[in-house]
Structure 1
């Protein structure tokens, strides 16, 4: 017999926020972590090379953000699994590359950019990468059913009219007799 508490937990796990709600939560969680990361990268870069500071901060912030997204943003119902952390890390590597390229481009354009300009460049690149990460996390990493996620990526499918009208045998015995 199911208790009220377990029914409530099951309902919470089955409820997945809509795309707009999930994106708003993603912006709050991911944006908050990203903003803190921005300042952390700047502070660490005073002692170590910027690329290394960005790598360290990206690793730590990805772990934190993945947990927040699993628990709050995408309604996964608990802690992120190892698989989800690994998949999220893949999208973070892409985000790391985008932020590094943006900072390298900035340094090619401006010999010694001031810290405010660096923050603008870093946060702009992070926002661009964040939108792509949202799509990957929602459709792949935290998708309830991976076959549904794959269908969403492929787009709507329609069956040919002849297949749609043909009735399949009700059970395997009928299938064997039909052959």
Structure 2
């Protein structure tokens, strides 16, 4: 019974986190799509996408640390670095999608560009959610580390009966 309840809570937690991820990340992504379009009228599209990706990744990582995954504060440098790695993959996905569109359609309209860009972003976003939840903001790491730190040593009698005595025994046990 306890396992089924914990599994149900984990599923509910995953859906709630995904909803917050869509709200925070999707909001930033939607704003980013308009920012890319506006910048691309002045500079090359790939450069506009790169600039917007950097800024939006920093903003989204902070939002995810504070709200989506409940990390309890600002994102750490490690979390920003790991998030940047997943954003680099998302950047590559959007670039490939847009380059493919331009190979298939000579002069795509703004609406088609938005559809392709947002579709590629959504696909990359689902993969990013998994990476952020399972790696970047994983809570089990801190629980595992706490368990290791608070583990109690074996009683002396149990240790002395199972471990060889003398310096050679100490080396083998280490």
- TM class by shorter chain equals 0.7 to 0.9
Q: Does 1:64 align with 2:59?
A: yes
Structure 1 residue 48, shift from structure 2 partner: 0.3
Task: Give the Cα separation in 1 of the matches to 2:137 and 2:156.
Answer: 35
Greater helix fraction, Structure 1 or Structure 2: 2
Q: Runs of 5+ in structure 2 lacking a partner?
A: 1-11, 145-152, 164-174
Task: Give the Cα separation in 2 of the matches to 1:30 and 1:118.
Answer: 20
Task: Give the Cα separation in 2 of the matches to 1:76 and 1:107.
Answer: 40
> What residue in structure 2 maps to residue 137 of structure 1?
132
Aligned residues: 144
Q: Runs of 5+ in structure 1 lacking a partner?
A: 1-16, 150-168
Q: Contact 1:140 / 1:146 at 8 angstroms: preserved in 2?
A: no
Task: Give the Cα separation in 1 of the matches to 2:94 and 2:80.
Answer: 20
> What residue in structure 1 maps to residue 162 of structure 2?
178
Which 4+ residue blocks in structure 1 deviate beyond 4 angstroms? Answer: none
Task: Give the Cα separation in 2 of the matches to 1:85 and 1:93.
Answer: 12
Task: Give the Cα separation in 2 of the matches to 1:87 and 1:141.
Answer: 6
Counterparts of residues 99-110 of structure 1 (less than 5 Å): 99-110=94-105
Classify the secondary structure of the residue corresponding to 2:107: coil
> What residue in structure 2 maps to residue 80 of structure 1?
75
